[in-house]
Structures are given as structure tokens and as C-alpha cells.
Amino acid sequence: MAAPLTLLLIVAVTIRAVLFRSSWAELISERVEVVSPLNAWKRVVEGLALLDLGVSPYSGDVFHETPFMIYLFHFVVDYAEIVFMIADGITAVALYLSIQTYNKNVFRKQKYALESDRYPADCLELLRSPKEMFYIPLKVAMFYLLNPFTILSCVAKSTCGLNNAIIALFILCTLKGSALLSGILLALATYQSIYPLTLFAPALLFFLQRLYIPVNLRRSSFWFFTLQYAFIYVGSLVVITGLSFFLLGSWDFIPSVYGFIFSVPDLTPNIGLFWYFFAEMFEHFRLFFICVFQINVFFYTIPLSIKLKEHPVFLIFMQIAIISIFKSYPTVGDVALYMAFLPAWSHLYRFLRNIFLVSCVLLACSALFPVLWHLWIYAGSANSNFYYAITLLFNFGQILLVSDYFYAYLRREHHLTHGLYLKKKDGTEATLVLK
């Protein structure tokens, strides 16, 4: 399997290298769908210039990257294009290995369950075959590397690609079972953009499942491991933050990065839901609605963790998707990360209900974003409402996509325990409804 993956990497790098050299690169790096105030390359360059002048990069409200990021680029700014290509490669390989590991686990579990005769007889067609699972990791890597969204994000040199690489490495370490590395990488991801904080729950659930520790609040082993993992996580977070302080010698970055993410002062249009709403709102409601909007990202963790506590990897997927929909400055690079997981759930296909509609909606929206932007900004004939309408539709499509996969996953699990052909009490065919 190494050969196709290498081939894929070469193709992906070639496409990116060609685009970097073409006249499109500049155009792409200006698109609001691809870069946000948080991760625009232009702002990184500005921060670097300030740093070289001996001024704090956070003075002037342009730069919102973390101190690690600016020191990373301080050394490799001349090789930025290569760094971004490598980051994409790392993400793809990490996702490839994680899904491979995950599939092995899934298959092993399925084998045990089959041997112990736990599946109803009519469910055999729902079981997964090694033949079908063989190409999934490669498809995942392909979905990430050749996704136009990733390519655009990479060509625009949006630092979103680096954040994705950290999250992908975190997933890999988690699935490989290394609690220490997983905790450290999760802390790093949190440090980069806060929102990955919600991935703590699925990672913890995964380790508990792996170590056969039941999720039981009265068991000491549960608390022992939870505290252990939380300690690694919080400890590394503190160390990383402390290091950043020593790097710059000031706490400037806290309000400038995390304050910026939470309070959403920059209302440049993007593909998210925040900008239009906060541009229209009366100032004295702002705090209240910021809380309401930000809670969205974190709130779903609790019900999802309860519902999916047996399936932490699917929970990771759900969480990443929710982050990319509800975060304050989303870009297409975030969308690309969770879309890479879709091939891993290809066995759910028969239970998906709206996948066709959703793919049409997402496709049409992607085409309409630049068109309506042109009409609004350049032609001056449309206005922000046109653009926001498409943003809403795009997010509606994403939410429908995620909830559809959620429903399909639960339904398959339901069938695996209760049999495929359900009957109502009176003997007629039953239908499952998600309520």
C-alpha cells in the first residue's frame, strides 16, 4: 500500500507546486473563503516584520497567530511553500495510518462478535469485508490531499493546514494508544485554536475503551485514568503557554489570539455564521449572543459523548465537523479535514437519506460563493444578503450532512443488535425515525 500512497503524495505535491507558481496563487490567497483573519499568510508576514523590528507582533491588531507559529515561520519563512506542502502530506499520512489502525480494530471486534454469535442472522449483509475495507485508508488520504478545498487552503498558505496536521497527528497518536503523546498534541491543538478542546472527551473515551475501563463514575480506575489523562493535557497546555510567554516576554498573545477567537471583533465575511449576525446586531446584545454562538461548539460534546460513548472515533469525526461549522472564523481548510473522514464511513451509505441532496447543495454553494462575492464587491449590484444566503445554505448543507451520517451510524448499530428487518408489533414492516 505504500506505493499508491507515495504516488498520491507526488500527485498532490505536483498540483500544489504548479499552483504556487501560477498567477492563481495570489488570487486564491485573497479569497475570504480560504483565509480568515486568524490564518491569513499576509498577516503572518506582517507579524514577522514586526518581530524583526523588535516590536511585539501583537501590537496593531493584525496578527493573531500563536507565538509558536511565528517562531516556526521565523526560521522557515523562506521555505513557507514547502512547509505547507509537508504539513498537508503529514496530515494525509497520519489520517491514512489512523484509519488503517481503526479499521483493523473494527475488523477484530467484528470477528469476535461474529464468533460469539452476537449478531442477528439477517445482519450478515451489514458486516464489513476486508476487501471493501482495504482501500479505505488510501481513499481517506486521497479525499484529504486531492480535495479542492485543501488544495486552495494550501496554495493560499493558510495556517489552517498546520492546525489540521496537528489534529491529524493527535488522532493518530490516540488511535495508536499513546496517551502521553495524544495529550501533548491535544494541548498543542488547543493552544493553536482553542476549539479542539472538545476532542478531549472522545480521546478519553477511546483510551478508557482500549484499557477496558468501564465509564462508571463510582469506579476508582475510571477516575484514576481520567485524572491522569487530564493531568497530561492540562500540564502540557500550561507548559506550552508558559513557553510562549518566555518566547515573547509578554502575555500579549492571550487577548490577541484567544480573545480574538472568542469575542469575534473582525467581521470580514467568511463561510461561517458569525460575521453577518454580529454586523447587524445592536451593540448591547453582543455579549449575550457571543455566548450563545460560542456555546454551540462546546455544547454538543455532552449529548454526543453520551450517545456515542461506545464509538469514540466516530465521535471525533462528529466533533471536528461541529467545530468547523460553528467556529468563529471557519475556512474551507477546516471543512476539508472532516470531509476526509467520509470514506471511512462508506459502509453507512445504505442508511444515508439525503447524501445526494447535500452533495448538490455543497457543490452549488462552492460555485456560488465567488459569483456572489463578485456581484457584491466588484460589480456592486448585489449586497451582503446575497452572500450570506449562500453561507447559510452551505452551513445548512454541512449540518444536514453531519446529522445524516450520525443517524446512519446509529441506525446501523441498531440493526446490528436488533436485526435488519424490523417488524412492528402487528407484524408490518417498521421504519426507524430519528427523534
Partner 1 sequence: MGLLSDPNRRKALTGLLTRLNTPICIVCYLAGIVWFMGLAFEPFTLRTYMSENAMGSTMVEERFSSGERALSLAKEFDAHKRQARGMPVEWLVKAMQSRGLEVFTQSFSRKLPFPDENKERYMVRGTNVYGILRAPRAPRTEALVITAPCSPGNTNNQAVALLLALAQYFRNQIYWAKDIIFLVNEHDLIGTQAWLEGYHHTNITGMEYSPLQGRAGSIQAALSLELSSDVITSLDLVLEGLNGQLPNLDLANLFYAFCQKLGVLCTIQGKLQRNDWDTAEGYTHAAQTMMLMVLKQACGRSWGDHGLFLRYHIEAASVRGINSFRHYKTDATTIGRLLEGMVRKLNNLLERLHQSYFFYLLPSLSRFVSIGYYMPAFGLLAVILLLRVSFPGLCHCFSVSLQPSSPGVLTVLTPVVISHLTGVALYLLPVHLQEMAVEHFPVSETEAVVLTAIAIYTAGLALPHNTQRLLSGEGTEQGWKVLKLTALLYLAVLLGCTALINFSLGFILAVTLVPITASITPHMPKALYAVVMVLLSPAFTILYCVFIYQELIEAPVSVSEGWMLFLSVISQGILDHALYGSLVYPLLALFIYPCWLMFWNILFWN
Taking residues 219 to 248 in sequence order and writing x for each that binds partner 1 by CB under 8 A, - otherwise, the string is: ------------------------------
Q: Residue 378, interface with partner 1 (CB under 8 A)?
A: yes
Distances (CA, A) of 434 to 235, 318, 352, 407: 40, 17, 12, 7
**Using the rule CB under 8 A, is 424 a contact of partner 1?**
no
- Of 212 and 356, which has the nearer Cβ to partner 1? 356
The nearer residue to partner 1, 96 or 260, going by C-beta atoms, is 96
Q: Which is nearer to partner 1, 212 or 349 (CB)?
A: 349
- What are φ and ψ of residue 234, in 5° steps? -65, -40
Contact region with partner 1 (CB under 8 A), list: 68-76, 217-225, 325-333, 427-435: 427-435
Sole binder of partner 1 in the list 247, 375, 416, 420 (CB under 8 A): 375
How many angstroms from the chain centroid is the CA of residue 81?
22
Indicate whether 10 belongs to the interface with partner 1 (CB under 8 A): no
Q: Which of 3, 121, 217, 433 binds partner 1 (CB under 8 A)?
A: 433
Q: Give how far Cα 124 sits from Cα of 110, 117, 346, 352, Å.
A: 11, 11, 17, 19
Binds partner 1 (CB under 8 A): choice among 199, 237, 323, 372: 372
> Which position among 74, 353, 412, 414 is part of the footprint of partner 1 (CB under 8 A)?
353
Alpha carbon distance 211, 330 (integer Å): 35
Binding-residue pattern over the window 107 to 146 for partner 1, x denoting contact by CB under 8 A: -------------------------x--x-----------
Cα–Cα dist 96/81, whole Å: 23
- Smallest gap from Cβ 367 to partner 1, in A, equals 5
Nearest approach, Cβ of 82 to partner 1 (angstroms)?
29
Under rule CB under 8 A, residue 428 binds partner 1: no
Contacts of 353 (CB under 8 A, 6+ apart): 404, 407, 408
When asked if residue 27 is in the footprint of partner 1 (CB under 8 A), the reply is no
Nearer to partner 1, 141 or 203 (CB): 141
Residue 282: DSSP 8-state: -
Q: Which stretch binds partner 1 (CB under 8 A): 318-326, 330-338, 346-354, 408-416?
A: 346-354
Give the interface segment with partner 1, choosing from 46-54, 77-85, 256-264, 362-370 (CB under 8 A): 362-370
Number of helices (H), then strands (E), in the chain:
21, 0
Give least dist CB 99 to partner 1, A.
14
Which residues are bridge partners to 429 per DSSP? 423
Nearer to partner 1, 15 or 400 (CB): 400
Cell numbers representing residue 406 in the block: 450520525
**CA–CA separation, 158 vs 245, rounded Å?**
24
How many of the chain's residues bind partner 1 (CB under 8 A)? 27
Nearer to partner 1, 227 or 360 (CB): 360
Put residue 421 in one of left, alpha, beta given phi > 0 → left and psi -120 to 50 → alpha.
beta
Contact between 312 and 298 (Cβ < 8 Å): no
Applying CB under 8 A, among 15, 19, 126, 364 the residue interacting with partner 1 is 364
CA 270 to chain centre: 17
3-state helix, strand, coil in the chain (%, to 5): 75, 0, 25
Measured CA to CA, the distance from residue 285 to residue 101 in angstroms comes to 47
- Smallest gap from Cβ 132 to partner 1, in A, equals 6
**220-242 b/e with 16+ CB inside 10 Å = b?**
eebeebbeebeebbeebbeebbe
- Round to whole Å and give the CA distance between 64 and 236: 21
Residues contributing to the site for partner 1 (CB under 8 A): 132, 135, 346, 349, 353-357, 360, 363-364, 367-368, 371-372, 374-375, 378-382, 400, 431, 433-434
